[in-house]
Amino acid sequence: MLELAAVSVVAAVLLFDLVTLEPDSLATALALTVLVVIAVAWMAATIVGLLRGQAWVRASAIVWQVLQFAIGLGALQGSFAQPAWGWPIVAVSVVTFAILFAPSVVKATQSRAARD
């Protein structure tokens, strides 16, 4: 839920910037904003599924952690590298990925039926 909150803040900032500032590339700014809003929706759906005890959520969370790791790794490279936020993203991804394979998490998410 903390990751959802963080990505929601990023989406809000991007939307605000899109409305109030003139981007160098409107197409790029729109694409980035849409991708982040899609990420918010994906994470929210995963959390709802988790609260309902659905089995697919672990796979969704694993895919998200892999993508988040790639984003963090990308932030550490190139001429516009941002290690101040790249390393925390990588660290959170690695820790969360490991947690997703903990026996208690696997057991809690292996049932195919929704829990009451």
pTM of this prediction?
A: 0.80
Q: 43 with 90, same domain?
A: no
In a shared domain, residues 21 and 64: no
Count: domains in the chain: 2
Burial status of residue 5 (CB atoms within 10 A of its CB: 0-12, 13-18, 19 or more): exposed
Closest CA to 65 of 41, 99, 97, 36: 97
Range of the domain at 47: 1-51
Same domain, 44 and 64: no
**Tokens 């990588």 map to which residue?**
90
pLDDT in single tens digits along all 116 residues of the chain: 888 999 999 999 999 999 999 988 899 999 999 999 999 999 999 999 988 888 899 999 999 999 999 999 999 998 889 999 899 999 999 999 999 999 988 888 886 655 54
Looking at the fold, whether 3 and 45 belong to one and the same domain comes out as yes
